[in-house]
Structure 1
Amino acid sequence: MFNLETFKQKSPQQRFLFILGLVMFLFYVVLGGMLILGTTVLAEIQQKYRIMLGCLLIVYGVIRFIRLINQKHEES
Protein backbone atom coordinates (compact mmCIF):
# COMPACT_ATOMS: atom_id res chain seq x y z
CA MET A 1 0.00 0.00 0.00
CA PHE A 2 2.75 2.45 0.88
CA ASN A 3 5.82 2.32 -1.31
CA LEU A 4 8.82 4.14 0.13
CA GLU A 5 10.46 4.43 -3.31
CA THR A 6 7.60 6.47 -4.79
CA PHE A 7 7.66 8.67 -1.68
CA LYS A 8 11.37 9.39 -2.22
CA GLN A 9 10.79 10.25 -5.89
CA LYS A 10 8.21 12.94 -5.15
CA SER A 11 9.07 16.60 -5.16
CA PRO A 12 9.41 18.34 -1.79
CA GLN A 13 6.07 20.07 -2.33
CA GLN A 14 4.28 16.78 -3.01
CA ARG A 15 5.89 15.19 0.05
CA PHE A 16 4.86 18.12 2.22
CA LEU A 17 1.26 17.94 1.00
CA PHE A 18 1.20 14.17 1.58
CA ILE A 19 2.46 14.57 5.15
CA LEU A 20 0.01 17.44 5.73
CA GLY A 21 -2.79 15.17 4.52
CA LEU A 22 -1.72 12.50 7.00
CA VAL A 23 -1.61 15.05 9.82
CA MET A 24 -5.11 16.29 8.97
CA PHE A 25 -6.39 12.68 8.87
CA LEU A 26 -5.01 12.11 12.35
CA PHE A 27 -6.46 15.43 13.53
CA TYR A 28 -9.98 14.50 12.41
CA VAL A 29 -9.78 11.01 13.90
CA VAL A 30 -8.44 12.27 17.24
CA LEU A 31 -10.98 15.10 17.42
CA GLY A 32 -13.80 12.69 16.61
CA GLY A 33 -12.56 10.29 19.29
CA MET A 34 -12.38 13.11 21.82
CA LEU A 35 -15.95 14.10 21.04
CA ILE A 36 -17.19 10.53 21.37
CA LEU A 37 -15.22 9.48 24.45
CA GLY A 38 -14.59 12.77 26.25
CA THR A 39 -17.08 14.47 28.50
CA THR A 40 -15.44 17.88 28.72
CA VAL A 41 -15.17 18.64 24.99
CA LEU A 42 -18.26 20.63 23.98
CA ALA A 43 -19.99 19.61 27.22
CA GLU A 44 -22.96 21.91 26.59
CA ILE A 45 -24.05 19.80 23.58
CA GLN A 46 -26.18 16.73 24.25
CA GLN A 47 -24.31 13.43 24.20
CA LYS A 48 -26.12 11.98 21.17
CA TYR A 49 -25.17 15.03 19.07
CA ARG A 50 -21.54 14.86 20.23
CA ILE A 51 -21.42 11.19 19.22
CA MET A 52 -22.95 11.96 15.82
CA LEU A 53 -20.49 14.81 15.22
CA GLY A 54 -17.58 12.63 16.34
CA CYS A 55 -18.60 9.83 13.98
CA LEU A 56 -19.01 12.33 11.16
CA LEU A 57 -15.50 13.71 11.75
CA ILE A 58 -13.99 10.20 11.79
CA VAL A 59 -15.78 9.24 8.56
CA TYR A 60 -14.65 12.49 6.93
CA GLY A 61 -11.06 11.81 8.01
CA VAL A 62 -11.20 8.31 6.54
CA ILE A 63 -12.60 9.65 3.26
CA ARG A 64 -9.77 12.21 3.07
CA PHE A 65 -7.22 9.47 3.76
CA ILE A 66 -8.65 7.25 1.01
CA ARG A 67 -8.58 10.15 -1.45
CA LEU A 68 -4.98 10.91 -0.43
CA ILE A 69 -3.87 7.33 -1.04
CA ASN A 70 -5.74 7.09 -4.37
CA GLN A 71 -4.29 10.41 -5.53
CA LYS A 72 -0.80 9.13 -4.78
CA HIS A 73 -1.35 6.09 -7.03
CA GLU A 74 -2.83 8.16 -9.88
CA GLU A 75 0.12 10.58 -10.00
CA SER A 76 2.76 7.82 -10.08
Structure 2
Amino acid sequence: MFNFNNSRQKSPQKRFLFILGLAMMVIYLGISIVILFFNEALSLDPERFPRNYQIAFGILLIVYAAFRFYRILKDNNENE
Protein backbone atom coordinates (compact mmCIF):
# COMPACT_ATOMS: atom_id res chain seq x y z
CA MET A 1 0.00 0.00 0.00
CA PHE A 2 2.54 2.56 1.12
CA ASN A 3 6.09 2.28 -0.11
CA PHE A 4 8.36 3.56 2.63
CA ASN A 5 11.57 2.48 0.87
CA ASN A 6 11.77 5.56 -1.31
CA SER A 7 15.26 6.82 -1.95
CA ARG A 8 13.86 10.11 -3.27
CA GLN A 9 12.26 12.61 -0.95
CA LYS A 10 8.94 14.13 -2.03
CA SER A 11 8.77 17.85 -2.58
CA PRO A 12 7.10 19.84 0.21
CA GLN A 13 4.19 20.67 -2.09
CA LYS A 14 3.50 17.01 -2.89
CA ARG A 15 3.83 16.06 0.75
CA PHE A 16 1.41 18.82 1.77
CA LEU A 17 -1.14 17.80 -0.87
CA PHE A 18 -0.87 14.16 0.21
CA ILE A 19 -1.51 15.06 3.84
CA LEU A 20 -4.34 17.43 2.87
CA GLY A 21 -5.95 14.68 0.78
CA LEU A 22 -5.76 12.24 3.68
CA ALA A 23 -7.21 14.83 6.05
CA MET A 24 -10.13 15.54 3.72
CA MET A 25 -10.82 11.83 3.40
CA VAL A 26 -10.91 11.50 7.19
CA ILE A 27 -13.24 14.51 7.42
CA TYR A 28 -15.65 12.97 4.88
CA LEU A 29 -15.62 9.68 6.79
CA GLY A 30 -16.18 11.52 10.07
CA ILE A 31 -19.14 13.47 8.72
CA SER A 32 -20.69 10.30 7.34
CA ILE A 33 -20.28 8.45 10.65
CA VAL A 34 -21.85 11.33 12.55
CA ILE A 35 -24.80 11.49 10.14
CA LEU A 36 -25.33 7.72 10.19
CA PHE A 37 -24.83 6.88 13.85
CA PHE A 38 -25.21 10.07 15.90
CA ASN A 39 -28.26 11.62 14.24
CA GLU A 40 -30.00 12.16 17.62
CA ALA A 41 -27.11 14.35 18.77
CA LEU A 42 -27.44 16.48 15.64
CA SER A 43 -31.17 17.02 16.25
CA LEU A 44 -31.94 17.17 12.55
CA ASP A 45 -35.53 17.97 11.62
CA PRO A 46 -37.03 14.71 10.29
CA GLU A 47 -39.41 16.62 8.02
CA ARG A 48 -36.60 18.50 6.25
CA PHE A 49 -33.98 15.72 6.26
CA PRO A 50 -35.71 12.32 6.61
CA ARG A 51 -33.83 9.33 7.99
CA ASN A 52 -33.66 7.51 4.64
CA TYR A 53 -32.03 10.61 3.09
CA GLN A 54 -29.56 10.72 5.99
CA ILE A 55 -28.60 7.11 5.32
CA ALA A 56 -28.25 7.72 1.58
CA PHE A 57 -26.12 10.84 2.17
CA GLY A 58 -23.91 9.00 4.68
CA ILE A 59 -23.33 6.13 2.27
CA LEU A 60 -22.59 8.58 -0.54
CA LEU A 61 -19.97 10.30 1.64
CA ILE A 62 -18.36 6.94 2.46
CA VAL A 63 -18.18 6.04 -1.23
CA TYR A 64 -16.70 9.45 -2.03
CA ALA A 65 -14.10 9.09 0.74
CA ALA A 66 -13.14 5.66 -0.63
CA PHE A 67 -12.81 7.15 -4.12
CA ARG A 68 -10.58 9.94 -2.81
CA PHE A 69 -8.44 7.40 -0.92
CA TYR A 70 -8.04 5.37 -4.12
CA ARG A 71 -6.97 8.49 -6.04
CA ILE A 72 -4.52 9.50 -3.30
CA LEU A 73 -2.88 6.07 -3.41
CA LYS A 74 -2.84 6.07 -7.22
CA ASP A 75 -1.27 9.54 -7.38
CA ASN A 76 1.23 8.62 -4.67
CA ASN A 77 2.37 5.50 -6.56
CA GLU A 78 2.63 7.33 -9.89
CA ASN A 79 4.78 10.15 -8.50
CA GLU A 80 7.45 7.87 -7.05
TM-score (norm 1): 0.89
Letter in 2 for 1:66: Y
Which residue of structure 2 lines up, in the alignment, with residue 51 of structure 1? 55
Query: What is the Cα deviation at residue 4 of structure 1?
Result: 2.4
Alignment of 1:14-25 (within 5 A): 14-25=14-25
- Larger RCO (CA within 8 A; separation ≥ 6): 2
Structure 1 ranges of 4+ moved more than 4 A: none
Which residue of structure 1 lines up, in the alignment, with residue 9 of structure 2? 9
Question: Where do 5+ consecutive residues of structure 2 fail to align?
Answer: none
Greater fraction helix: 1
Q: % of aligned pairs identical?
A: 40
Paired residue for 2:72, among 52, 68, 72?
68
Query: What is the Cα deviation at residue 37 of structure 1?
Result: 0.6
Partner Cα separation in structure 1 for residue 52 and residue 24 of structure 2 = 25
| SS of corresponding position for 1:10 | coil
TM-align CA RMSD? 1.8
Q: Spell out, residue by residue over 1:21-71, the C-alpha distance to the aligned partner (whole angstroms, 9 max, x if none).
A: 000000000101111111233612111100100010011011001001001
Is 2:39 aligned against 1:41?
A: no
Letter in 1 for 2:63: V
Question: Where do 5+ consecutive residues of structure 1 fail to align?
Answer: none
TM-score (norm 2): 0.85
Corresponding pairs, count:
76
Partner Cα separation in structure 2 for residue 32 and residue 26 of structure 1 = 10
